[in-house]
């Protein structure tokens, strides 16, 4: 981190948006710890990592916009256990709650990156998307950078607690997915039986 400096931390966070397995929960506290050692300021760490978050999110937004609704519908129609009505309901939900989803989604592991794609598909106004992404990313990044800054040599403890939160999110998503599959299979069986 000392060699990469704040621009390198920003680049890593931009890459984390594009490749979610890269853990921001490690990069951000490490940037905070490095700032506490005087290699750069905590403000530089926050500004550069937040800039990286916005750039990475914008790339995914553009991919969603380029991929577009028609291609999404074509792919969705081929997926097992789903129908276009599910996608229509999801689009309607995003139309009603998209701003909250983008803002708060930037603070939830895994969804931090993914929320940019439907925003692009739905063509959320770019200025609104960027403002919400900036605000949500700023909160997330400040929490982790400042935690690393204040914990100093113990910055790695942040990852342990963030990892637990991530496991909870993944478990909730898997349970929701399992519920969806089971309920869809039951509905299909009741139609056929």
pLDDT at 184: 63
pLDDT above 70 (res 37): yes
Q: What is the phi/psi pair of residue 169, to 5°?
A: -60, -45
What is the spatial distance between Cα 33 and Cα 16, in angstroms, rounded to a whole number? 19
pLDDT band at 193; cut points 50, 70, 90: low
Q: What is the number of other CB atoms lying within 10 angstroms of the CB of residue 193?
A: 5
Contact between residue 44 and residue 6 where contact means Cβ atoms under 8 Å apart: yes
State the average pLDDT over residues 70-80: 77
Domain boundaries, the chain: 5-192
List Cβ neighbours of 4 (8 Å cut-off, separation of 6 or more). Answer: 11, 12
Taking the CA atoms of 114, 127, 52 and 146 in sequence, report the sign of the dihedral they define.
negative
List Cβ neighbours of 117 (8 Å cut-off, separation of 6 or more). Answer: 60, 61, 63, 64, 67
pLDDT in tens, 106-122: 877 767 777 888 899 88
pLDDT above 80 (res 161): no
- Considering the entire predicted model, what is its pTM? 0.72
List Cβ neighbours of 102 (8 Å cut-off, separation of 6 or more). Answer: 115, 116, 119, 124, 129, 132, 133, 136
pLDDT in tens, 94-103: 778 888 888 8
């Amino acid at each position: 981190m000392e060699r990469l400096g704040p621009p390198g931390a920003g680049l890593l966070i931009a890459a984390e948006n594009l490749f979610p397995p890269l853990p921001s929960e490690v990069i951000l506290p490490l940037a905070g710890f490095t700032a506490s050692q005087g290699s750069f300021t905590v403000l530089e760490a926050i500004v550069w990592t937040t800039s990286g978050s916005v750039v990475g999110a914008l790339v995914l937004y553009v991919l969603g916009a380029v991929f577009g609704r028609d291609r999404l519908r074509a792919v969705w129609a081929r997926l097992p256990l789903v129908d276009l009505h599910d996608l229509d309901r999801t689009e309607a939900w995003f139309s009603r709650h998209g701003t909250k989803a983008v803002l708060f989604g930037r603070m939830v592991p895994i969804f931090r990156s993914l929320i940019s794609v439907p925003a692009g598909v739905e063509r959320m106004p770019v200025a609104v998307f960027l403002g919400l992404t900036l605000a949500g990313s700023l909160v997330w990044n400040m929490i982790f950078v400042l935690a690393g800054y204040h914990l100093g040599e113990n910055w790695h403890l942040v990852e342990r607690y963030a990892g637990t939160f991530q496991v909870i999110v993944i478990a909730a998503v898997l349970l929701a997915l399992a519920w969806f599959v089971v309920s869809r299979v039951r509905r299909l069986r009741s139609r056929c039986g």
